Amino acid sequence: MIKFLKFIPAQLTFFLIVGILFGNYFSFLPIDLFSIFGGLILLLTAVYFFANTQFQTPFLFPVLVFLISFFIGIGAITFNNQLNNGKHYSKIIQFSAEEPVSALFTIESVLKSTKYYHKYEAEVFQLNGKKTIGKILVNIKKDSANSQLQVDDCLAVKMVFSAVAEPLNPYGFNYKKYLQQQQIHHQIYGENFQFLRLPKTNQTLKGIAAKIREKINLALIQNGFKDDELAVVNALLLGQRQHLTSELQQSYVGAGAIHILAISGLHIGIILLILTAVFKPLHYFKYGKLTATIIIIAILWMYAIIAGLSASVVRAVTMFTSIAIAMQVNRPSSTYKTLVISMFFLLLFNPYYLFEMGFQLSYLAVFSIVWIQPKIYHLWSPKFWILDKLWQLLTVSMAAQIGVLPLSLYYFHQFPGLFFVSNLVIIPVLGIILTAGIIIISLAVLQIAPQFLVDVYIFIIRQMNHFVSWISNQEFFIIQQISFSFLLIIAFYALLFFGLKWTEKKVFFRFVLVLISVILIQTVFVFEKYKLESTKEFIVFNESNSSTIGIRNGNTAQFFASEDSLKTNTNFMTAYIVGSGLDEISPSEKIKNLYFFSNETILIVDSLGIYKFNSLRPTIVILRQSPKINLERLIKNLNPKIVVADGTNYKSYLKDWEQTCLKNKTPFHNTLQKGAFVLNNNLFIP
């Protein structure tokens, strides 16, 4: 491992990553980057010639190289950010909620549909008659009379471009941030008749790949594939997960086998082994090994294109392309080196991969398998071959889980206790499933697939789904609602790294680093516990159909809700409980009309419209269920610090109330626009 850390590409990749992170949070002008980069190159050249004349490498040389790598990272994310391009559609016009714009765009990919909308990623190439670039999210209301759009379809619209909303409740999934990492900053909503289809201008690689996948799916359907079996084949072999139902996807998550449904290094590695065996006879001819390598790499990248060139597919194929080349030149290639080189070029090509959860988890898993698995495997030496192979598979799964555990807890807030069972059963047969799947797809497209072979394959996929569903239903072994902060991620990875280093060489200095890591974890726990216990909050959550209020006192909380939703633990409540790290949740109660929090008296005015009290002067007024009141009279009588309206009110009422509050110089908080209202330790946060 020490030798690996001295590997120059590893050091360059580290500074590239630091540069990408720095460039993501701080803006740089392209002209400034060109100037800095040019100056560093000139300085490096001067140092290089000086080193040649002195026959020694000065300390300044590696410093300059690392600085250049750092600024390359900044430049990579700066120039890849489409918002920095003068042709981005957002530079053409200032968007507003009432101003529709005329746009031409092409569909780039078909996304997973929601209950009411088909969703697409599209590229805007013209806005209000001007040529542009930039991606948008397209939401088209479902209509059984119209078919879904396809990749490369060209459309014309005239409608409002709306910004993607921030999460409206605390600790909710930040869909806006997720889309920004895909360089999508606006979205449009409409019905089928509002979209005018135009003749296709050109056909892209993605469009051709989509046509191939469509042909494959049609052939599979004709041979009896349907529902979950068809969805799993699409995910396993074609890299398309949008057809998976939420229930099936959650089953694989609960079983700790969700990685099976994403084309990754495991899948591409198996395919590489198959291709290597198929083209082995070419090695006996002159230049046969080189020819076989070229063919294998070409097939891998053709497969990546057919699978949609997703991030997981691109990084896996890039990594195994490096391995295939290393195998061709008969040079023993360190897996560490291969991984870091593939990471460097992937991030150079698309620095936004760094922020993708799949990218982080896959590289951590592979690094962990390479580094941790041998240490676990050597703890026991089974005498029987079958036990040895099972132990090897188990240690691979354990090593991967150990490596990704802190990050998985941070993202998913749950731990599948039976992950080793599902992986021990599925991974050994995955090679057979992939090989048989490729054969069946090929035969089905050629319309010569034997039906009995298809039926057997469908049966295997169905049984795998049933097995995964059974594992995920063992809820006793699934630890859920785990609160895990970013500080804990850093502390636990420090302990894991220094702990493993100490097992390699048990010296005092490394033991001290392990102890420091343990102290760091304890410090984080103490800090977060203090922060948890010292926080008090009064929250009006945003909902459209019912009202929910939360009162938090340290590590305990109680929710007050409309009578129709008292027994329902909704997603936003779960997100708040997990995100806050709460220990105790009191039983929910029906919403009251009056609350006292810190120094505030909070009045809830519902549909009955009662707000007059002789002995109390409310300082905060919350409106719900569209009360028919004269708000101006209420403000003059009570003189509240702020008026809050939740999502259960009519939108026409909300507009009138906002104008009334503006006229009377009273702050107004509409949860549908600004999100949940949070009163935190006697400070209201609009």
pLDDT at 166: 86
The least confident of 111-125, 138-152, 350-364, 492-506 is: 138-152
CB-based contact 432:456 (threshold 8 Å): no
Grade residue 644 by pLDDT with cuts at 50, 70 and 90: very high
pLDDT at 568 over 50: yes
Distances (CA, A) of 139 to 107, 193, 242, 603, 669: 12, 13, 15, 39, 28
pLDDT at 5: 55
CB-based contact 347:80 (threshold 8 Å): no
Which amino acid, one-letter code, is at 271?
A: I
Grade residue 184 by pLDDT with cuts at 50, 70 and 90: very high
Query: pLDDT tens digits, residue range 524-548?
Result: 999 988 888 888 899 999 988 888 8
CB-based contact 188:162 (threshold 8 Å): yes
Mean pLDDT of 412-438: 80
Please give the class, per CATH, of domain 89-202: mainly beta
| Torsion angle of C-alpha atoms 622, 624, 628, 631, degrees rounded to 10 | 20
Buried/exposed code over 53-83 (b: 16+ C-beta within 10 A; e: otherwise): eeeeeeeeeeebbbbbbbbbbbbbbbebbbe
Which amino acid, one-letter code, is at 47?
A: V
**CA separation for the pair 310, 315 (Å, rounded):** 9
Query: pLDDT tens digits, residue range 307-352?
Result: 877 777 887 888 778 777 776 666 545 667 777 888 888 899 889 9
Q: Where are the domains of the chain?
A: 2-80, 89-202, 263-353, 486-533, 536-685
Q: Is the pTM of this model over 0.85?
A: no
pLDDT at 264 over 80: no
In the chain, pLDDT over 90 holds for what percent of residues? 17
| Strand blocks (E) in 305-377 | none
pLDDT at 53: 67
Query: pLDDT tens digits, residue range 65-94?
Result: 888 899 999 999 999 998 888 899 988 876
Reference 591, options 603, 600, 580, 599; nearest CA is: 603
**Length of the chain as a residue count:** 686
Which pair of tokens denotes residue 543?
């909902």
pLDDT at 2 over 60: no
> Radius of gyration of the chain from Cα atoms?
29
Grade residue 152 by pLDDT with cuts at 50, 70 and 90: confident
What is the phi-psi region of residue 94: left when phi exceeds 0, alpha when psi lies from -120 to 50, beta otherwise?
Answer: beta
Which pair of tokens denotes residue 14?
């580290």
Query: pLDDT tens digits, residue range 210-237?
Result: 888 889 889 989 888 888 888 888 888 8
Indicate the average pLDDT of the chain: 84
- Write out 220-233 in H/E/C secondary structure: HHHCCCCHHHHHHH
**CA separation for the pair 611, 643 (Å, rounded):** 13
Mean pLDDT of 347-368: 85
Residue 537's contacts (CB-CB under 8 Å, 6 or more residues apart) are: 550, 551, 552, 678, 679, 680, 681
